[in-house]
Every structure is written in C-alpha cells, then in structure tokens.
Structure 1
Amino acid sequence: MSTEAPIKLKFPRQDLAHFDPFQTDENAARSWASELPVANPRSVAQQLLQAVSELNRHPLASELRFRILEAMADKLQVTLANLTRRFLNQPLVMPEEPRQLAELTSDLQGQLATAYSLVAVETLQRSDEVRQSNPARLVCESIQRALYHAGHNILLTFQLYHPVALGGWLSLHQLYALAERQGLATLSVSDVHGQATSVSATYLQALLLGCCKPNQLRQSDLAAIYAGLGEWREHLRIGPAGSFEGLFLVDLESDQPPLYSSLYGSANSSQCRQLGTAALVTYLKQLKQLDDAQGKPGIKLESGITLPSNMLSHLIDALGSMSMRNFNRVQLSAPLSVSIGLGSAHVHSSGERTFGQLLYGDDYIPPPSERVGSNPFMREEETKRDSWSTANPEEDFVRDSSGSGIEAELAHRVELDDYTRHAIEDDLPNIPPEPEVPVYQVRLTNVSPGGYCLDWSETLPEEVRAGNIACVQENRDDYWAIAVIRWVSSLQDAHTLVGLELLSPRAQAYGALVQKKTGQTPVPQRVLLLPEIPLVGQAQTLITPRAGFRERQKVSLLRKGEKLLIQLTHQISATASYAQFDFRYIRQLDEVLADDKNGPLDSAYDSVWSNI
C-alpha cells in the first residue's frame, strides 16, 4: 500500500495567545460547562461553539487539549441532542429560528471534528511530549471522536436534504486514511457513550449512510439507519481495491461519497477502498424474515430506536444490488398540477367527490360536525350572546285545539332525507373527515416514462416529504396520475428539487372496510385501486394507509352501487405514509348461488360447495 500521498486536513492558525472562557485545565473546563444554563440550549450552544473555536486557535499540548474536550463532552452531547429536537420534523424550507439552530448545530459539530483532528495530528508530530497517555491510543481515540462528529454532520446534512458541504467527504476519508496509515483503524476504543467501537466502524457508519439513497428517506428513518449501521459493524468490510468483491468503492483522495465499483473504471487503486456489504445484506434478510413472521412491527435496535419494516427492504435493495435509471430524462420546462397526500389523490380520483358522496351517492349530506361553518349553533359567535335567549317557542306556536290528533301529528312530522333514513335504519359507519385538497402549480425540469423532476421554487408545503403519495395532472382534461415522492433535494437558492416516481396513470377511489369477526363496526378508509397495465406487466394493486392493513386480511371495497370482497395477498412496497398490496377477489356465497341458478337443478349443491 502506497503512503506517498500526503494527508489533506485543514486546521485554523494557532494565533490566539489568550484563551478567555476558562483556565486551560480539564477541571476548570468541566466546572465551566456544568454552570452553563440548562434551560436555554441555544445560548449554551453559542457559548460552547465560541469556546471550542477559540480552543482550536490557542496553542496547547495535544494531551491537555484532548482532556479539556472530554471534560466538556457530556454537556456537548446534551446540548446537541436538545438542539436537534428543535429543528427536525420541520418543513423543509424552515422558518428563521429552526434554520439558525440547524446552522449552529452544524458549526458546533464541525468545530468539534476539527478539535479532535488537531489532537491526532499534534500527537503524531510531537509524540515524545505525551507523558500521561499512550500516544498511539490518544491518536486512535482522537480520530474516532473526529469521525464521530464529522459523521453526525453528514447525517444532519442528509436530514435537511442539503448537499454535503465542500470538503465534507474528503475530511472524512482523510481521517480514516490517517488512522489506516498508522495501523490504528481496527483497534478497539470507547466512543463518547462508553461503547466499544473502532475508527473503521465509525467511518463506515457515515460512509454507508451515503450509499443508502438518503434523499429518499425521512429524517427519522435516516436517524434509525445511522444507528443501525453503527450496531452492525461486524457485518461490514473495508479493504484495498480488488482484495474482495464489493458493490461499492471509495477514493480516499476524493471529495465524493462511495460509488458503484463497476463505475470507477481505471481508478487509482492505491487510494481506493472496497466496501463489502454482502454479509450485512444477508443479516438484514434474516431480520426481515423474523420481522415478517412477527407481523412487521419493525426491528428494535440496541439504542432503543425502532427501524421500520419498510426500511429493511430499502436497505436490502440499496446495499445489495446496483440500481440504475431505467429511462432517459428529457429536459422540459412546463407547468404541472400537483396535489399531495393519499386523501387528495382519493378526492381527485373519485371525480372531485367527497368520501361520503363516493360511498352513498351524490345526495349524501355531511353530518353536522362537518358543517360547522353553516351551523350557527356549532360555531363561536363574536358576541357571547346565547342563541336561545331570543327564542320563545311557546309564543311562536299555538296548537289548534280544534284540529284532530292526526293533523297535529302530520304538522309535527320531520321529513328525513334518504341518507339520514338509511343511517338510522342501516347503521351506516362513520366517515373520516374530509381532507383539504390544495393544488399546486409547479414547474417541471425534466420528465421520463418513470416519473417527473419538479423545481419547487414557491413555498414548500409541509406535506412534501419522501414517501408521500402525490397525484399529478399535466393538462386540465387529463386523468390525475398517481405518483410517490421518491427524493427531495434542497438547493442553496431557496429552490427545492422533488423527484416523483409514477405508480399509475390513473386510479379508482374506494372506501375499504377490513373484515373483522368481532368488535365495533370499522370506519371506512380511503384506498386507491391501481388498475392493471398489461403493456408493462403490472398487475392491479391497492394503495392503503400505512396502518390498519396487512397481508392475508379480507377487505370490502365500497362505493355507491358497488361492493367487492378481496384478500390482501402480498405487501409489495411501503413507506411511512402508505402501503401497496397485491390482492385477489373473493366470490361470496350469494354470487355463487346466483351463478348456479343457470345450471342443472340436481347439481346446485355440488356446485355451491365446490366453489366455496
């Protein structure tokens, strides 16, 4: 292995003669950090950032610098965790305060990575000055800490759907190259939480996150996968290019994430490392089999985080096989109507009818709770005047004593509409409230037979998240096509690129009732039936909400004048917001009997039992 290539790490000048926050002593650092105000994470983070950045510019012995950083580690971890909770799960175009908190977190992680990198390099340069620690161990622990913070910065970048900052990947690669060159990459060290790990495991945790198609994942899924990659380190391999067959290859001198090995061509093999994921994919398949057998509750990691079932399938696909684009993109600048969410897609696919109208006909009248705007007794008036205070029913109505009892009954009879009468007599199930159905006009940047790329320059709706259902319409007279948001990429100039994968050129809207043997009458749920497309060999499938539906369930599909009984056979895909199932139709007994009336009378019972 060649060691001629110099290590490329950047450090600030050591030009700060005086360090003001506290005395350069580990006890003073611990005392100062413990006295920071707990109730104001932003203020704490700003003070910590100032202290660490000034420490990086102040000349210190590497051993002392490391002890000071470790003395502040607990406060740093708590502060970073508190900050993260305040800006994650926000709209992608964040308000000013969460955006500033995200930048503060990134800056603090970056300064910590620099601080520990500085310890490692100074220890190597002046190892004879290290008295109280083993120099090799100090270098190893410092590189591991630097990779830890650099890796979390990359995780944060992916969670915000931003491109990795210039030099971000290169710093990560060069830290690993430094440890590898010193023979320290596989030595066991304790991480910031006291768990056993190594430089190689910490490096691969961040490196492979870039191989998992992060722009297709939600923020919580990215955090779960990152935690899982840290726990599955024994199933990962890294070695010189050509030493074993690996799906991915990384160039330690590049500022790029890993790429597929087959795309590298004639790369500088001395600085390239092969990444082996075959053992991890095998292990993930075992976890998936166990998860399927238990009803897909997800995998509970050692850290307490649950990895959703659909993420296992995503990881197996991303780390187990090479994924290439099936269709060429065509550049196109044209408007596109877009509506987000399964509820919106259901309304558009039903011909702009409400859920009640779809189930019970166009004469359906919503219940009073859905008509608050037009009901004076169910909205708060500006004045607190009681609506009944002006009513005097006994003065407004005087019974005609001369009339017969039949006339009096007819005078007070309440006429019911058809839906209300059916609701009373047939005990119709409740209907979920109607969703808001905003339609956005978005500019296309390119298209392919498989989907669209959108340039969302207007205010980005909160619903625009990877894995959400979307429906699109190119021309006003076209059917609404059903798609899924596959990836999101936030750009520097307040533009966001959104990638849509087309699922079906149209859909049929239904209400779905899961068949249950006992219990309360289930509430109908909005589902979409995607019709068969013989040209591409795509069978008909059912799009359902993520919760409440599973394989082998029997489901009634309902709409006015139509009722179908089906059984969900296989879940072919799922995200955090929807599931997609194959299904088969089930013939009911009355259908069998109806068909059998056309046959010979003496064979009726044989026919019935043979078809049940």
Structure 2
Amino acid sequence: MLWPSLKHRPSLDEGIPLSPRPLRRWLKALPLVDMGETTRLVYNGLLTLNQAQLPAGQRIQNMELVRESAQDVLQHLSRHFIARSLPLPPRGRKILRLLLRLHKELSTGYKLALRDAARGDNLSNKLLALATHRALRHMSLIHLQAAQMYETEPAGMWHDIHLLYAFAEEHQLTASVVKDASYRHIRQSSIAEAYLQTALLALSLPTTLRQGEAERLAGFFEKTAGLVGIDGRPLADAGSGVYLINLELDRPPAYTSMPETPALASLRGITPDKLLTHLRAQLQGTAVGQGGMQAAGTLPADLARRLLLTLTQHAKRDFARADRDERIYVAIGLDSIHRAVQADPARTMAHGESLRAAGLPDRARDLRLQTIPEQHRSHNADPTNYYDPNATSDDIWRLVVNDALWDRAAPTSPAMDMDAADAAASIEQNPPQEWAQWRLINASPGGYCISWEQAGPARAQVGELIGLRDREGRNVLWRIGLIRWMRNVPEEGLIIGIQLLAARSYQITVHAAHTRRHATAGAMDALLLPEVKALRQPGSLILPAGHFQPGDDVVITEGANESRVRLQECLQQATSFAQFMIGTIDTETPAGQESGFDALWSKL
C-alpha cells in the first residue's frame, strides 16, 4: 500500500477553499507584497488541503493551483541561503526547516492522490504520471536544498523517492514526459529522468562538493539524465563496481564493489556509460553533439574531472582513524595560515630546512658573516664547539656564515626553554585572531575530523586550504590539509573531514623568474610541502591562485636561501590557491644564454 501512514486529520479551518474555482480566487488575493504573510497563508493552506478528504482528481487540481503560487514563496525563502556561511544561525535554521517542510507538504499532496488512486479512485494515466512526477520533483528539491546546506537528508526521503519510482514502474509510467516549470535548464522530463536526476546528485557525494557546485550539478543532470539508464539486473563494470539501488531501503544509490549482485526484485542498477563517455569527451575537448553543436551539458573542467573520479572510483580510507576528544587551533585559507604560523612563538623552524626537505638546491645562498649570539659566548665558547662531525669540507665555511647552523645545532639554555614554554602557554590562553578553536574528533596519518561548536560562522568551505596546530613530542607543527567534506548536523554543529596534504609545511616567499609575462610580479607568500612517501604524495608548492601556470619558473626564498624551480603539473586548484608539483632547473646554463625570444624583445 502506498504511504499507509498518511492519514487524514480533522480539517484546520484556515479559510482556504477546497474547490478549484474559489481556491483560484483565494490564491489571486494573496498579499504578495508581504511575503511573510503570504508564506504563512500558503503553508497553512497546504496543511488544510492535505488534511481534507478530497477525491484524487480534485486534489491534484487543487495542488496544481497552489503549486503555482507556492513557487514565489519557495524562491523567496531560497534567497536566504545564497552564499551563506555555515553553520546557520538559529533564524536561518528555522527558515531552512520551513522551506523543506513546504516542499514536503507539496509532495505529500500529490502522494495522497496517488494513494487514493491505488485504493480505487479513478485517475487517467496522464494524471497518474503528473502526480508521480510532481511528488518526485519536490522530493528532489528537498535533496538539493539539503545538499546545498550540507545537511543530513531527512529520514524517509529516499524511501519515498524509491517508492514513487516503483509505483511508476508498476504502472508503466517511467517513460511518461511531464512539463515542469520548476526546472532551470529544461522544460520537461520523463519520470525516469526525474528520478535519475536525484540519484546522480546523490552519487556525486554532495558533502564533498564546493559551495555552489550542488546546484550546478543539479542543472547539469537536468540536461544529461537522458544519457543514463536504469537496469532491472544490475551488472558490474570492468572494475567490479556497480551503481546499485535498493527500492526497499531508505538509502541513496551507491557505487559499490560487488562482482556478483544478489537476485533481489528490489535491486536496480544505473548504467551511466554514455554520461561517463560525455564527461571524458568534454575533458578531451570533444564534447559536441550532432552537427557540431555543443553537447547536452558541460561543466567547468575541474568539476568535470572530480565528478568523473567520484563516479568511477571506490571510496577507500588508507589509514584507520583514532578517536580524539580535544581542542585544536585551526587557520583557514592561505593568507590566514601564514599569519597564524607567524604569530606562533612555539613553532620550530630552521632556516634552509624547507629547501632541504623538498630536495631542492640552495645554490643562490649568500655567504655572510654572523655575530655569535650572546648565549653561545658563555664558558669561552668557540664556534668550533658547534662543528658537525658529519660535515664535508664544503660545510666548514657554514660553521661561521650560515645562520641556519645556530637554529639547527646550537644548544639552548634552560632559561631559553622556560621562556619558550611561557610564551607558548600564554598564546594558547590568548590566541591570535587568526587562530580558530575547533574540537578534534579523530585523526590518522592521512587526515582529521573536526567539529565547529562556536556560535558564529566557521568560514570553512569544501576545497579550501586549512592549517592545524598539532604537536609532535615537544614540537609544535602546523599541518596543512584540504577540507574534503562538510556535514552540518543540527545537534552536533558543523563537522568537516580533512585530507592531510603534508605532515609539516614550510613558510616561504616566491617570485616569478624574470620573464616577459612576469616582468612586474612581486614576492608573495607561499607554502612548500615536502614529499610524503607514506601517502605517495610528491613535494609541491602552494601558491595564491591566478598568478602562475605549469611551466613557469619561480624563485623560492627562505631566509638567506634561494632555489629556482619549475612548476609542473597543477595537482589541484581552488578560488584562493593552486598546488603545483615542482622540479629543479639546471642552473649550469651560462647566465648570458637565453632561450626562445627572450633576448629579442628589448631590441625590437
């Protein structure tokens, strides 16, 4: 039986007519200049209609009238969530609950008509298809709104979505096409396409999408759902993966490893081969349709690449995470990370260490005399007391001229240790503005899970760079990661998952090697990440976005040490930063020798 729990309750007299003609007059009289009052009237009117005993045909007619007016209310409420920081304040959460409830009541009205039709009310196939499509569409919009806010899906949502599709299958309505004004990029779709639009967005893992990408993908799937099919006998792909749906469970579709699928009547498989081919063609620059026209839908290259990976790779965690219930300081964004690290007196950093950790030469190192610090003059100390027995003959000069020597090898006095400890304790009690306190939930060598429990917004976004102040023995380290997913849980706050890019990072400055394209480029802050063999991650450079591209030469400066490198593959890019693999450059080329046309420009 369809929705046996949907019971008629005594009608609440809110003044809304139950017959189509007076209902149309009531809707025209709504005070649209006062959207608060209009929202109240529409919401209470929907409750009344869904509680009234009505024939299925009349109910659908009423819902079509109310739905048209409700679109203005829904659009008005949706504007409250454009580019909003998370977590939402209490008022924002109430508005979100109201928006989701309106979609649910609209869907419920059509589901009641379908239930009554299943009980014997006579409805044409056209009305059955219309009601099924409308109910599916509003459940889909609930899913999209939850995805945009990184919210947990409402309980029972997928149960209802699957049940609607199963009803369409039973009545052979899946290919029925229905016009719908709520779409942004198309005017109509079949019931199967409406179902697949929601299923594909779920397979895209909305909690891992960056802000605005869930809506962009929803529009993309509006145009491309026709490339995807549903199979009653799920078959594994070449990688033993299958896009599986169980119509009897309150769970979204999933891409799972299953060489042999059980023979269950409730199982369905999604066949996305044509969609995957379309994405690959777009990435190769050949995504065109018939006659050379632009293909059905396109995405930004970075989003298309990430979507293709999500749809074709099994989620796998390389390391087990250990529970940790403690506080941790965090900085979000490249600029904030730099300021946060600079404000930390407990950080340990030896000049030149970053270049050595990345395996880069410091051939541009300047030799200069150094004053021996006062603490090293006690007991008639001599610079040779700090001689490194493993040093080569070339390293002897660095006993005197290399300022990194004192940071790396010189002993410290107990008084210095106490001063450093006092400074660290003081700053943790009064942290800098750039430090934000989060709760550490669990950690592993590959990442962290943290939650925001403060009252204000967290400023966290999926895809953004994040620095975490952690300890390794007595040392304080700022680890660099990437926010991979977010989940906004009402009772627990905003929870984010972090993929660790490097166990440690090095603050450096970079400037472009002098070329015509970068003739006026100045120095800018950056981060150097050493190679992490355990994670199979190469050494890389994190730079502000929009300044460089693969193939550019840059000069890395850290203290008195310099190294010239060439940017190679761009590993990932966001609105605020870009991460590049780096390679050294042969500096033995004669200084006067220039490549290409560089020597020609000044003479023209």
Q: TM-score, normalised by structure 1?
A: 0.73
- What is the one-letter code of the residue matched to 1:232? T
Which residue is 1:467 aligned to? 463
- Distance in 1, Cα, partners of 2:2 & 2:12: 27
Q: 485-494 or 260-269: which moved more?
A: 260-269
Preserved contact between residue 123 and residue 138 of structure 1 (Cα < 8 Å): no
Q: 55-64 or 513-522: which moved more?
A: 513-522
Which residue is 1:233 aligned to? 225
Preserved contact between residue 240 and residue 269 of structure 1 (Cα < 8 Å): no
Render the CA deviation track for 1:440-491: whole Å, top value 9, x for unaligned.
3333222221111123333364311211111112227322110111112222
Residues 296-375 of structure 1 mapped to structure 2, 5 A cutoff? 307-348=299-340
Q: CA RMSD in A?
A: 3.4
Which residue is 1:191 aligned to? 180
Render the CA deviation track for 1:396-449: whole Å, top value 9, x for unaligned.
xxxxxxxxxxxxxxxxxxxxxxxxxxxxxxxxxxxxxxxx85213333222221
Residues 232-251 of structure 1 mapped to structure 2, 5 A cutoff? 232-242=224-234, 245=237, 247-251=242-246
Which residue is 2:583 aligned to? 584
- What is the one-letter code of the residue matched to 2:8? R
Which residue is 1:271 aligned to? 266
- The alignment covers a number of residue pairs equal to 498
Q: 104-113 or 486-495: which moved more?
A: 486-495
Q: 136-145 or 90-99: which moved more?
A: 90-99
Give the drift of 1:288. Answer: 2.1
Preserved contact between residue 512 and residue 558 of structure 1 (Cα < 8 Å): yes
1:457/1:349 Cα in 2 relative to 1: closer, same or farther (>3 Å)? closer
For 1:162, which of 144, 151, 154 is the aligned residue?
151
- What is the one-letter code of the residue matched to 1:456? W
Q: 507-516 or 47-56: which moved more?
A: 507-516
SS at match of 1:333: strand
- What is the one-letter code of the residue matched to 1:443? R
- What is the one-letter code of the residue matched to 1:500? I
- Distance in 2, Cα, partners of 1:519 & 1:162: 44
Which residue is 1:493 aligned to? 491
1:567/1:22 Cα in 2 relative to 1: closer, same or farther (>3 Å)? farther
Which residue is 1:140 aligned to? 129
- What is the one-letter code of the residue matched to 1:501? Q
Render the CA deviation track for 1:2-49: whole Å, top value 9, x for unaligned.
xxxx54464241542867223521x54344334433344333222211
Residues 558-597 of structure 1 mapped to structure 2, 5 A cutoff? 558=557, 561-562=560-561, 564-586=563-585, 592-593=589-590
Residues 41-80 of structure 1 mapped to structure 2, 5 A cutoff? 41-80=35-74
- What is the one-letter code of the residue matched to 2:74? L
For 1:478, which of 461, 465, 476 is the aligned residue?
476
Render the CA deviation track for 1:174-212: whole Å, top value 9, x for unaligned.
111111111101222212357120111111111222221
Preserved contact between residue 256 and residue 314 of structure 2 (Cα < 8 Å): no
Preserved contact between residue 154 and residue 164 of structure 1 (Cα < 8 Å): yes
- Distance in 2, Cα, partners of 1:38 & 1:566: 62
Which residue is 2:527 aligned to? 528
- Distance in 2, Cα, partners of 1:72 & 1:191: 14
Which residue is 1:404 aligned to? none
For 1:209, which of 194, 201, 205 is the aligned residue?
201
1:497/1:36 Cα in 2 relative to 1: closer, same or farther (>3 Å)? same
- Distance in 2, Cα, partners of 1:237 & 1:472: 44
1:84/1:533 Cα in 2 relative to 1: closer, same or farther (>3 Å)? same
Preserved contact between residue 483 and residue 504 of structure 1 (Cα < 8 Å): yes
Give the drift of 1:290. Answer: 2.4
1:562/1:32 Cα in 2 relative to 1: closer, same or farther (>3 Å)? farther
- What is the one-letter code of the residue matched to 1:70? E
Could you tell me which runs of 5 or more consecutive residues in structure 1 were left unpaired when the two chains were aligned: 1-5, 294-299, 354-435, 595-603
Residues 252-263 of structure 1 mapped to structure 2, 5 A cutoff? 252-262=247-257
- Distance in 2, Cα, partners of 1:289 & 1:37: 52
- Distance in 1, Cα, partners of 2:279 & 2:487: 28
SS at match of 1:544: strand
- Distance in 1, Cα, partners of 2:567 & 2:167: 54
1:518/1:497 Cα in 2 relative to 1: closer, same or farther (>3 Å)? closer
Preserved contact between residue 140 and residue 198 of structure 2 (Cα < 8 Å): yes
SS at match of 2:451: strand
1:550/1:519 Cα in 2 relative to 1: closer, same or farther (>3 Å)? closer
For 1:220, which of 204, 212, 218 is the aligned residue?
212
- What is the one-letter code of the residue matched to 2:19? T
- Distance in 1, Cα, partners of 2:23 & 2:565: 66
Give the drift of 1:258. Answer: 1.7
Preserved contact between residue 339 and residue 437 of structure 1 (Cα < 8 Å): no
Preserved contact between residue 87 and residue 101 of structure 1 (Cα < 8 Å): no
Which residue is 2:361 aligned to? none
1:456/1:97 Cα in 2 relative to 1: closer, same or farther (>3 Å)? closer
Render the CA deviation track for 1:258-306: whole Å, top value 9, x for unaligned.
233436987561001112223212211222222999xxxxxx9989xx8
Q: 30-39 or 462-471: which moved more?
A: 30-39
Give the drift of 1:547. Answer: 3.5
Give the drift of 1:121. Answer: 2.7
Task: Find out whether 1:171 has 2:163 as its counterpart.
Answer: no
Q: 177-186 or 158-167: which moved more?
A: 158-167
- Percent identity, aligned pairs only, is 25
- Distance in 1, Cα, partners of 2:70 & 2:595: 72
Residues 414-425 of structure 1 mapped to structure 2, 5 A cutoff? none
- Distance in 2, Cα, partners of 1:572 & 1:184: 46
Q: TM-score, normalised by structure 2?
A: 0.74
